[in-house]
């Protein structure tokens, strides 16, 4: 099997992540409430929480920057690019898990957008680590 399908999957996941994190970043800076499924206010509660920022930087913006970095790292070829993508994805996955735990245990609310990002980053970590372990770009 060539690297092509995994590379395409990683690029699609990057674009999906940019969409989700971009929306949450927009919501933050526009100072509007995010759209929540079923009229839930969980997204608002999570977005307004202390956990929505890390040293004053919105975590949505950090997510957006991570997904943009992943898009470029997955677009490039070579071991360094695959290593960078896997590293960013694994760190992003760990941070997403941490934020989800904070959401459930401290904020007592969940946000569908945040859970979507967790799912995307989980898949991204799986795909990028698989690409890294498999090695060479076989689809030149």
Give domain status of residue 139, yes or no: no
SS3 80: helix
What is residue 39's predicted lDDT score, i.e. its pLDDT?
Answer: 64
Q: Is residue 112 part of a domain?
A: yes
Question: Please, what sign has the CA dihedral across residues 130, 133, 138, 140?
Answer: positive
Q: What counts of helices (H) and strands (E) characterise the chain?
A: 5, 2
How far is residue 65's CA from residue 42's CA, in Å, rounded to a whole number? 24
Tally of structural domains, the chain = 1
* CA atoms lying within 13 Å on the CB side of residue 56: 0
Q: What per-residue confidence (pLDDT) applies to 140?
A: 45
Pairing status of strand 53-54 against strand 57-58: antiparallel
Per-residue pLDDT at 69: 98
Quote the domain boundaries for residue 12: 4-134
In a domain, 53, yes or no: yes
Q: Classify residue 140: in a domain, yes or no.
A: no
CA angle 92, 94, 98 (to 5 degrees): 115
Q: What CATH number corresponds to the domain at position 128?
A: 1.20.1440.130
Please, are residues 33 and 27 in contact by the beta-carbon 8 Å criterion?
Answer: yes
pLDDT value of position 40: 65
Q: What is the pLDDT of residue 42?
A: 79
Rounded CA-CA distance 75/69 in Å is 10
pLDDT at 38: 65
pLDDT averaged over 10-residue windows placed end to end, the chain, 140 residues: 84 98 95 78 82 91 97 94 97 96 91 94 97 71
Phi, psi of 95, deg, nearest 5: -65, -40
């Amino acid at each position: 099997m060539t690297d092509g399908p995994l590379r395409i999957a990683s690029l699609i996941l990057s674009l999906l992540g940019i969409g989700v994190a971009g929306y949450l970043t927009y919501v933050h800076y526009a100072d509007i409430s995010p759209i929540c499924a079923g009229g839930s206010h969980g997204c608002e509660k999570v977005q307004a929480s202390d956990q929505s920022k890390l040293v004053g930087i919105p975590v949505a913006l950090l997510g957006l920057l991570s997904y943009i970095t992943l898009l470029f790292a997955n677009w490039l070829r070579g071991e360094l690019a695959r290593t960078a993508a896997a590293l960013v994805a694994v760190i992003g996955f760990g941070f997403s898990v941490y934020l989800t735990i904070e959401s459930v245990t401290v904020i007592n609310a969940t946000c569908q957008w945040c859970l979507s990002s967790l799912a995307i980053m989980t898949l991204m970590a799986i795909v990028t680590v698989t690409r890294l372990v498999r090695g060479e770009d076989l689809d030149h």
